Amino acid sequence: MTTLTDPPSESFRLSMLIYDTRYRAITFQIIALICFLLFFGWLISNTAQNLADLGKEPSFGFLMEPAGYDINQRLIDYNNQDSHLRAAFVGLLNTLLVAVLGCITATVIGVIVGVLRLSSNWLVARLMAVYVEMFRNVPVLMWIVLCMAILIESLPNPRAFRGENPEASMLLFDSVAITNRGVYIPEPLFSRSLGDIPVGNLFNISLDLIAILIVLAIGFYVSHRIKLKADATQEATGVRPKTWYMRLGVILVPLAALLVILGFHLGYPELSGFNFAGGTHLRNSLIALWLALSLYTAAFIAENVRAGILAISKGQTEAASALGLRPSITMRLVILPQALRVIIPPLISQYLNLTKNSSLAIAVGYMDITGTLMGITLNQTGRELETVLLGMLIYLAISLAISGAMNFYNSRVKLVER
């Protein structure tokens, strides 16, 4: 009974959408999609309806009104007469500052701890395990608050620096003051400054900084050329010419010359009035947040690094030692470069976590985007929906930018497969 006949060329009937396996999956997906969209539509219309009932139609006009409040740490000019938008921008820069600082330190600590955790030294390996487990298993908010409490309670008050026999004194030839309000360090000043160029109305870029960066870039480029030439000489003759002093010189000499031309000097912090004045003030809130976020995220990164190293076959280590490479060189030149391929993808999500965790900043009074836009601005204007949506969009943009950049880096280092 295996007579095969051509299937009758039936026309499409509506019931086939459910009874015909060719269409059923698509039908259900479309129904699910419609339900999903309707649900969101209902959520949005319900919100809009409730807001309209309260007489609070969404509007972003408040962003242009004067903010009226002050922000202690600001990387760009800001005073309380500037708009809420600018206050949010100040907060955004603070978020980015702590995120960038945090990511850098977390990576450095994380890589060191991850490598040390695999150390053959029993004590070091156990200590690192204790560190990782302690930081990984306690909420980061606790660490932030703890860091802040330690800074506030254990360090001397600026008042302690005053008087004939002060209880506390400044460090490093009276140039650094560590107080319970933060650390004051000397600031670079230029007596013959080139001035600033404004970028739109947003902020000014220091021409001095640009000049220094250009000189440094040229220095590094020339230094690189010298290295290439040395490599070529080594290829040709087998003798590597001594170039380190030349390479260092082309970077340092023009830089020093530029600094002299600009009239570089340091502004030292001094006691004046209630606080230290002058110098750069690294506030407690920044230090506590930075420290806590770095240590917390570093614990996770250490585990990623450990996993990455363990993922490299032991044969690689053995082959390297068979070639006579010392363990430190093996780690640096053989294991880590390969481990990076395993480490980078989870590292991206750690960076994202750190950035998002920085929104806990208000716990120590650090004015990030959550503290300004979604904190004080929300409160003074009562625009919950608008500010929170805007804040979410900003975090989304930052996170996508970080993961875009890291994915680019990942695609550069990952194994090229054929």
Residue 115 Cβ, how far from other proteins at the closest point, in Å?
A: 37
Question: What is the Cα–Cα distance from 378 to 132, expressed in whole angstroms?
Answer: 37
Residue 73 Cβ, how far from other proteins at the closest point, in Å?
A: 9
Other residues' Cβ atoms within 10 Å of the Cβ of residue 392 = 11
Using the structure block, give the residue that is written with the tokens 């391929």: 341
Q: How far is CA 222 from CA 179, 218, 225, 261, 396, in A?
A: 43, 6, 5, 21, 40
Question: For other proteins, which is the closer residue by CB, 10 or 53?
Answer: 53
Residue 125 Cβ, how far from other proteins at the closest point, in Å?
A: 38
Question: For other proteins, which is the closer residue by CB, 72 or 193?
Answer: 72
Please provide the size of the chain in residues.
418
Residue 390 Cβ, how far from other proteins at the closest point, in Å?
A: 16
Q: Are 114 and 304 in contact (CB under 8 A)?
A: yes
144's CB contacts (< 8 A; 6+ apart) are 288, 289, 292, 293, 360, 363, 364
Q: How far is CA 285 from CA 16, 58, 75, 289, 334, in A?
A: 65, 33, 15, 6, 40
Pairing of strands 264-267, 203-206: unpaired
Question: For other proteins, which is the closer residue by CB, 125 or 271?
Answer: 271
Give the containing element (helix H, strand E) for 283: strand 280-283
Residue 150 Cβ, how far from other proteins at the closest point, in Å?
A: 11
Residue 290 Cβ, how far from other proteins at the closest point, in Å?
A: 17
Q: How far is CA 164 from CA 167, 184, 269, in A?
A: 9, 21, 18
Question: For other proteins, which is the closer residue by CB, 63 or 363?
Answer: 363
Structure tokens at 95: 């978020």
Question: What is the Cα–Cα distance from 350 to 140, expressed in whole angstroms?
Answer: 13
Question: For other proteins, which is the closer residue by CB, 19 or 274?
Answer: 274
Using the structure block, give the residue that is written with the tokens 């330190």: 105
Across the chain, which distance is largest between two alpha carbons, in Å?
113
Q: Give the rounded distance of the alpha carbon of 220 from its chain centre.
A: 25
Residue 250 Cβ, how far from other proteins at the closest point, in Å?
A: 43
Question: For other proteins, which is the closer residue by CB, 68 or 263?
Answer: 68
Question: For other proteins, which is the closer residue by CB, 163 or 195?
Answer: 163
Which of 266, 302, 75, 60 has the alpha carbon at shortest distance from 172?
266
343's CB contacts (< 8 A; 6+ apart) are 304, 305, 307, 308
Summarize as ranges the residues that interact with other proteins (CB under 8 A).
38, 42, 45-46, 49-50, 53-56, 68-72, 80, 149, 152-153, 157, 159, 180-181, 272-275, 277, 284-285, 362-363, 365, 367, 371, 375-376, 378-382, 384
Question: For other proteins, which is the closer residue by CB, 4 or 54?
Answer: 54
Using the structure block, give the residue that is written with the tokens 């005073």: 79
Residue 170 Cβ, how far from other proteins at the closest point, in Å?
A: 17
User: Angle 208-218-190 (CA atoms, 0-180°, nearest 5)?
Assistant: 15
Which of 181, 365, 188 has the alpha carbon at shortest distance from 282?
181
Residue 55 Cβ, how far from other proteins at the closest point, in Å?
A: 6
Question: What is the Cα–Cα distance from 398 to 76, expressed in whole angstroms?
Answer: 19
Question: For other proteins, which is the closer residue by CB, 149 or 252?
Answer: 149
Question: For other proteins, which is the closer residue by CB, 40 or 244?
Answer: 40
Residue 280 Cβ, how far from other proteins at the closest point, in Å?
A: 14
